[in-house]
Amino acid sequence: MPVRDAEAADVEEICALIEEHARYEGNEELVLDRADMARHLFGPDPKAWVLMAESGGEVAGMAFCSWNFSTWEARPGIWLDDIFVRPAFRRHGLGRELLNELRKRTSGRVEWDMQEGNERAAAFYADLGAEPVPGWIRYRWRPDLA
């Protein structure tokens, strides 16, 4: 199967995929601390988890996730923070495989954000049966890093 759970040995690839995604989205400066990422994913108190997609023995993409909980549904769900398939591996069903695996892992919601104007992604998500959430605006409160 081309989708599997990430292991500690995958930290370099996970960070590389995130950095490649940042470059694809126009962020030329993002460089992740591999040790921090390893601690947050595979340390004694993990904060997130990753699914890896492979094709022909190569890492082709990933889905970076964490658990959430819906009080109104009284069940856990999955927050998909990042999904990325390397351009050479697109249009082979790997994004669909990653999302289908997430769907199997919860009886709750699978949710994510998408940048406005990304029509190809919107069409892909609609084809899966996913819908935008009307009437909700996402807010972000960042720590003061000064």
Beta strands (DSSP E) in the chain are: 3-5, 49-55, 58-70, 75-85, 110-112
Is the pTM here over 0.95, yes or no?
no
CA–CA distance, 121 with 116 (Å, rounded to integer):
10
Structure tokens of 98? 């990653």
For 72-116, write each residue's pLDDT tens digit: 999 999 999 999 999 999 999 999 999 999 999 999 999 999 888
What pLDDT, on a 0 to 100 scale, did the predictor assign at position 146?
59
**DSSP annotation string for 56-78:** TTEEEEEEEEEEEEETTTTEEEE
Is residue 60 pLDDT above 60, yes or no? yes
Of how many residues is the chain composed? 146
Which residues are the active-site residues?
Answer: 125
Q: 60-69, 121-130, 133-142: which has the minimum mean pLDDT? A: 133-142
What number does CATH give the domain 3-128?
3.40.630.30
Enumerate the domain spans of the chain: 3-128
Q: Which residues pair with 82 in a beta bridge?
A: 64
Is residue 65 pLDDT above 80, yes or no? yes
